[in-house]
């Protein structure tokens, strides 16, 4: 397929189909943005489908963003989401990398058995364990506190597995050289292992950040009070009982929640895609 | 399984007490919030419990009650239909798109790849907003608006998110829309590992584009296809948040899925019953995983395995839920 150029007609058809599909992927997002800039009237009138909001740019309804932001108090929830995502990302990547290093390069009793047990936990469906995890968080007094959003995510079986695969690729000679220099195990990790697996760390970091930022179900059950909402909860509530039935305002909120991930994705796209192909994580 | 690298003992590496310092806390977290709750959850399915007070042992009554409910069978049926439609369609579509994206004569490949991947990174809440807007049942809904504009009367249009097979079909469609980019990216990685020489041989034999795709590319990425099918099935059995954000938690015969049912029971403080439903999902997951080993026992079929397609991958991918406990 890659060597001989197929006939012109086939190449045309492939282009048409590919771009038609790509537009299908993109169109809902374009609609989201364009609707967020319309008046309520425009959003439900004959204008619905037009991708260009009515009026010239200076008449676009940027006020929808302000309205969504104010009504749902998104400023506070932005902070909640960022705080949780950053803490979880930094700490869990560190913990997972240390554990991955231990499983890949250090010898200790029960290593194989523990690692196998860890792998097994990865196939467990969330639905079977969230019930008692929730009860446990209640017993620990975490419900409605940052702890509920952070502590269960401070390490993950997948993260450990991923880091172990990355560390396993480091030549043992490198570690031996460090040992001869008198490095402790932690110094080995810090000065040799961590720099060597930087791409994997970046990829895992992005995955973790994205998972935390987009996490919806777990915050939904462990957070009750309004001021502890994360961004997805706040935005979901915006559509629900509380704030607005205005489509443009809802689309503005959807845009607000999407843009940060989009920026992160576009900046780190390479690491992101490479990380994905390395282990097949499903976000 | 994936311990091949681990069994190679690093020569001369000292046995290490610090290893325990490195693994103790991470393992504690996984134990407390995943392993232990699974075991307790399985046990809990034999009890009646509201979450406070003492659980009451009732044997298999939760299961018996579930099996006696029409709602359970509806949810199970919808979950299975969803999985059986979504997963193969996603994998086939992703394969075709990935093969096309690999062709050097296609313009804008990087841009296309980014676009296809875009829905994967977007918050499920935003996805729900967008699609409820597009599929709104009134004439103002975007899709209806377009269909009416091309001459289809509104009265004949279904309620896209309503309690009909259309509602389920909509969930399938949006799920494919959301997930296909993920599979495309993995296929792209697998495609780079299909030996060039096979394509050369096919070209010498005068094979056309479609013949090459069928006889060279398809078998070349077979482990990846298999991986995507299995992990896709496991993920699809857990379908939940997409339905929640598009349709809500209310019980509809055609759009209810097992985990939505479970969530309602959980929210109503019937924890034992919810746990029993969780065990059903777990058993289905185990069945799919077992299928993997039955169908995939021939090690030579892994010959074309890519860096991204090893035997351990199915487990790796299911882990995303562990990584983000109910991410998506």
Closest alpha carbon to A89 in A223, A203, A237: A203
Question: Would you say A203 and A271 are in contact if contact means Cβ atoms under 8 Å apart?
Answer: yes
Residues from chain B contacting residue A176 (CB–CB below 8 Å): 11-13
- Dist CA B328 CA B326 (whole Å): 6
ipTM, two decimals: 0.87
Query: Best mutation site among B28, B34, B181 for testing chain A: the one with the most A CBs within 10 Å?
Result: B34
Of A11, A119, A136, the CB nearest to B32: A136
Residues from chain A contacting residue B53 (CB–CB below 8 Å): none
Of B5, B35, B125, the CB nearest to A236: B125
Q: Which residues pair with B48 in a beta bridge?
A: B56
Do residue A250 and residue B307 have CB atoms under 8 angstroms apart? no
Query: Best mutation site among A4, A51, A132, A210 for testing chain B: the one with the most B CBs within 10 Å?
Result: A132
Of B1, B209, B235, the CB nearest to A6: B209
The dihedral built from the CA positions of residue A4, A7, A8 and A9, taken in this order, carries a sign that is negative
pLDDT tens-digit map of A144-180: 999 999 999 999 999 999 899 889 889 999 999 999 9
B56 φψ region: left (φ > 0), alpha (ψ -120 to 50), beta (else): beta
Question: Would you say A204 and A96 are in contact if contact means Cβ atoms under 8 Å apart?
Answer: yes
DSSP track, A166-226: HHHTS-HHHHHHHHHTT--HHHHIIIIIHHHTHHHHHHHHHHHHHHHHH--HHHHHH--SG
Q: Which residues of chain A have pLDDT under 70?
A: 1-4, 44-58, 240-245, 276-283
Of B2, B185, B209, the CB nearest to A119: B2
Do residue B114 and residue A269 have CB atoms under 8 angstroms apart? yes
- Dist CA B305 CA B136 (whole Å): 44
Do residue A277 and residue B185 have CB atoms under 8 angstroms apart? yes
Residues from chain A contacting residue B23 (CB–CB below 8 Å): 98-99, 102-103, 114
Question: Would you say A175 and A190 are in contact if contact means Cβ atoms under 8 Å apart?
Answer: no
Rounded to the nearest angstrom, the minimum Cα separation between A57 and chain B is 22
Judge whether residue B186 has pLDDT over 80. yes
Judge whether residue B325 has pLDDT over 80. no
Residues with Cβ within 8 Å of residue B106, at least 6 apart in sequence? A14, A15, A18, B100, B112
- Dist CA A267 CA A122 (whole Å): 29
Query: Best mutation site among A124, A154, A182, A192 for testing chain B: the one with the most B CBs within 10 Å?
Result: A124
Half-sphere exposure of B30 (CA within 13 A, CB side): 30
Question: Would you say A237 and A229 are in contact if contact means Cβ atoms under 8 Å apart?
Answer: yes
Averaged pLDDT score across all residues of chain B: 84
Question: Would you say A234 and A220 are in contact if contact means Cβ atoms under 8 Å apart?
Answer: no
Residues with Cβ within 8 Å of residue A166, at least 6 apart in sequence? A100, A197, A200, A201, A278
Torsion on CA atoms B175, B176, B178, B182, rounded to nearest 10:
130
Do residue B129 and residue A156 have CB atoms under 8 angstroms apart? no
Q: DSSP 3-state assignment of A52?
A: coil
Judge whether residue B7 has pLDDT over 90. no
pLDDT of B310: 38
- Dist CA B1 CA A116 (whole Å): 8
Q: DSSP 3-state assignment of B27?
A: helix
Question: 0.80 exceeded by the pTM?
Answer: yes
pLDDT of B47: 95
Q: By CA distance, what is A210's nearest residue in B?
A: B121
pLDDT tens-digit map of B34-76: 999 999 999 999 999 998 889 999 999 999 999 999 999 999 9
pLDDT of A248: 84
Residues from chain A contacting residue B30 (CB–CB below 8 Å): 118, 121, 155-157, 160
pLDDT bucket at B175, cuts 50 / 70 / 90: very high
Residues from chain B contacting residue A160 (CB–CB below 8 Å): 26, 30
- Dist CA A192 CA A210 (whole Å): 27
pLDDT of B313: 39
Do residue B35 and residue A121 have CB atoms under 8 angstroms apart? yes
Do residue A121 and residue B41 have CB atoms under 8 angstroms apart? no
Residues from chain B contacting residue A128 (CB–CB below 8 Å): 37-38, 41-42, 275, 278-279, 281-282
- Dist CA B306 CA B316 (whole Å): 15
Residues from chain B contacting residue A26 (CB–CB below 8 Å): 115, 118
- Dist CA B157 CA B144 (whole Å): 7
């Amino acid at each position: 397929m890659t060597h001989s150029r197929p006939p012109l007609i086939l190449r045309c058809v492939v282009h048409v189909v590919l771009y038609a599909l790509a537009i299908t992927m993109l169109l809902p997002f374009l609609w989201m943005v364009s609707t967020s800039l319309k008046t309520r009237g425009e959003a439900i009138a004959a204008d619905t489908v037009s991708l260009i909001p009515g009026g010239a740019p200076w008449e676009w309804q940027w006020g929808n963003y302000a309205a969504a932001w104010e009504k749902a108090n998104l400023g506070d929830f932005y902070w909640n989401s960022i705080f949780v995502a950053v803490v979880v990302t930094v700490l869990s990547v560190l913990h997972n990398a240390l554990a991955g290093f231990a499983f890949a390069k250090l010898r200790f009793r029960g290593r194989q058995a523990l690692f196998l047990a860890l792998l097994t936990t990865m196939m467990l469906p969330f639905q079977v364990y969230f019930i008692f995890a929730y009860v446990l968080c209640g017993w620990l007094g975490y419900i409605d506190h940052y702890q509920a959003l952070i502590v269960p995510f401070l390490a993950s079986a997948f993260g450990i597995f991923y880091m172990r695969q990355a560390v396993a690729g480091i030549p043992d000679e490198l570690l031996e050289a460090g040992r001869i220099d008198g490095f402790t195990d932690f110094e080995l990790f810090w000065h040799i292992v961590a720099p060597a697996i930087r791409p994997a760390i970046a990829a895992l970091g992005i995955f973790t950040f994205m998972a935390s930022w987009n996490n919806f179900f777990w915050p939904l059950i462990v957070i009750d009070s309004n001021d502890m909402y994360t961004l997805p909860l706040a935005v979901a509530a915006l559509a629900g009982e509380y704030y607005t039935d205005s489509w443009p305002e809802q689309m503005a909120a959807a845009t607000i929640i999407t843009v940060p991930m989009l920026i992160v994705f576009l900046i780190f796209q390479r690491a992101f895609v490479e990380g994905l192909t390395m282990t097949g994580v499903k976000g | 399984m994936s311990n091949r690298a681990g069994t190679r003992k690093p020569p001369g590496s000292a046995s290490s007490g610090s290893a325990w310092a490195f693994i103790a806390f991470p393992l504690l977290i996984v134990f407390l919030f995943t392993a232990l709750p699974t075991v307790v959850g399985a046990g809990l399915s034999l009890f009646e419990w509201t979450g406070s007070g003492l659980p009451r042992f009732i044997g298999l009554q939760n299961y018996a009650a579930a099996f006696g409910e029409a709602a359970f069978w509806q949810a199970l049926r919808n979950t299975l239909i969803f999985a059986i439609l979504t997963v193969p369609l996603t994998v086939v579509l992703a394969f075709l798109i990935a093969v096309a994206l690999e062709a050097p004569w296609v313009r804008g490949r990087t841009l296309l790849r980014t676009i296809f991947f875009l829905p994967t990174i977007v918050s499920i809440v935003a996805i729900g907003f967008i699609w409820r807007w597009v599929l709104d049942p009134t004439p103002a809904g975007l899709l209806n608006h377009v269909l009416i504009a091309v001459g289809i009367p509104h009265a004949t249009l279904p309620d896209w998110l309503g309690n009909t097979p259309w509602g389920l079909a909509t969930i399938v469609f949006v799920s494919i829309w959301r997930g296909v980019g993920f599979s495309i990216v993995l296929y792209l990685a697998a495609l780079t590992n299909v030996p060039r020489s096979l394509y050369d041989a096919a070209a010498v034999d005068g094979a056309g584009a479609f013949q090459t795709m069928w006889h060279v590319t398809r078998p070349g990425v077979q482990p990846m296809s298999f991986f995507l099918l299995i992990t896709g099935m496991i993920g699809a059995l857990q379908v939940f948040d997409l339905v929640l954000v598009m349709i809500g938690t209310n019980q509809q015969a055609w759009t209810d899925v097992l985990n939505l049912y479970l969530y309602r029971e959980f929210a109503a403080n019937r924890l034992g019953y919810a746990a029993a439903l969780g065990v059903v999902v777990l058993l289905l997951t185990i069945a799919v995983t077992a299928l993997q080993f039955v169908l995939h026992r021939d090690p030579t079929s892994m010959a074309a395995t890519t860096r991204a397609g090893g035997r351990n991958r199915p487990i790796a991918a299911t882990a995303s839920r562990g990584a983000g406990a109910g991410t998506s």
